[in-house]
Each structure stands twice: as structure tokens, then as C-alpha cells.
Amino acid sequence: MADFKIKIRRMQKIDLDQIEKIEVASYGDHHWSKQAFANELSNNYARYYVALNDKNEVIGYMGLWHIIDEAHFSTICVSPDYRRKSVGEALFKRLIDDCYENLIKYITLEVRVSNLTAQGLYTKYGLKNLGTRKGYYQDNNEDAYIMWSENIFYDKFKAIYDKNVRELEQKIEIITGEEEKVC
């Protein structure tokens, strides 16, 4: 039985103060503003989720844009105090489940070439680095890898997903919250 429990639900405007604190702690001067998240919440092509601890505090969040049959992953972040406890993976699983629910076939994202932690999470689910965007990050002109999943409905992807989720559910109990977007 998992010894850690989180709830994952759609992001709401009331979460934004807590999200800003995690952004600042994680990205310093280069964090997204509260307004940027507020704009995302009113974007019909975007879906954002938060992970909450047992005190209903936000401990992580992630978002994606649906573009035709692709999900463009825009952000994922876990509070520094809660890293390496499978919260990031639980959020990533929610992203994949969102794609299954909406018949989205492919997941793509950009990641800093230096961000081996995040790349570890994405490669765990079979995403591959299929290109580089030179100087993509304006703060330090760092390159981005462009990562893609296989078609997530194919057996190869599903086998990786099923194995990872079985292991994930041993480590963390994930309660899925209400799906309505309440702003």
C-alpha cells in the first residue's frame, strides 16, 4: 500500500498564489507570472492540473495545450520540498490520461538540454529526443531538446505506461478530483 497520498484536480484561480511561490522557488527571476497562469486558465486549448497534499496545499502542477491530435506540454513543476516522491510522475500520468480521454495521440515538449531530471521522467515514458531548438531559452540562450512520444494508443507505449503506473501506484495513492474548471 502506498504511504503517500495526493489529489490531482484541474487548476483554479484560487491556486495561483501558491503556484507563484513554487515558481519563484524553482525558477527564480525566470518564473511564469500569476497573470500568465491566469491567461492559461481561460485558454480553451489548455488544460492545467494541480497536485495537493493532505492539507489541500498545492505541491505541484502541470499544463498542456491540445493542438489537433497532439498535446504540447507547457510546464511541470513540483515544490522543492516534495521532489523525488513521485508527484511529478503522478502529474505526468495525469497528462497522459488526459490525452487518452481526449483521443490525443502524441505528446511533445521542449526541455533544457541541461535538465537531466526532467528528461529522466520523460524518457521513462518512452519519449525520445527528436530535435534541438537552438537558443530556445531566452534567459541563458540554452538549447532545448524537442521530445516526442510514440502514438500513445500503440501497444509499445501502453506497455511502458502500464508497467510504470503499476509501480507508481505502489509508491503513491492518487485521488482524482472533480474535473470541472471552477475559476
Contacts of 17 (CB under 8 A, 6+ apart): 34
Q: Is 120 in the site for ligand COA (CB under 6 A)?
A: yes
Q: How far apart are CA 72 and CA 110, in angstroms?
A: 9
Residue 82, C-alpha cell as written in the block:
516534495
Q: What is the DSSP string of 54-94?
A: TT--EEEEEEEEEETTEEEEEEEEE-GGGTTSSHHHHHHHH
Binding mask 30-69 for ligand COA (x = CB under 6 A): ----------------------------------------
Q: Is 86 in the site for ligand COA (CB under 6 A)?
A: yes
Q: Is 166 in the site for ligand COA (CB under 6 A)?
A: no
Q: How far apart are CA 183 and CA 177, in angstroms?
A: 15
CB of 176 or CB of 183, closer to ligand COA: 176
Of the listed pieces 29-37, 41-49, 110-118, 151-159, which binds ligand COA according to CB under 6 A? Answer: 110-118
State the nearest-atom distance from the C-beta of 180 to ligand COA, in Å.
Answer: 25
Query: Which residues in 63-82 contact ligand COA (CB under 6 A)?
Result: 76-78
Q: How far apart are CA 132 and CA 130, in angstroms?
A: 7
Question: Which of 7, 13, 20, 26 is close enough to bind ligand COA by CB under 6 A?
Answer: 26
Catalytic residue among 20, 70, 110, 173: 110
Q: Is the distance from CB of 37 to CB of 75 less than 8 angstroms?
A: no
89 in active site: no
110 in active site: yes
What SS3 class is residue 11?
coil
Binding residues vs ligand COA (CB under 6 A) = 26, 76-78, 83-89, 111, 115-118, 120-121, 124
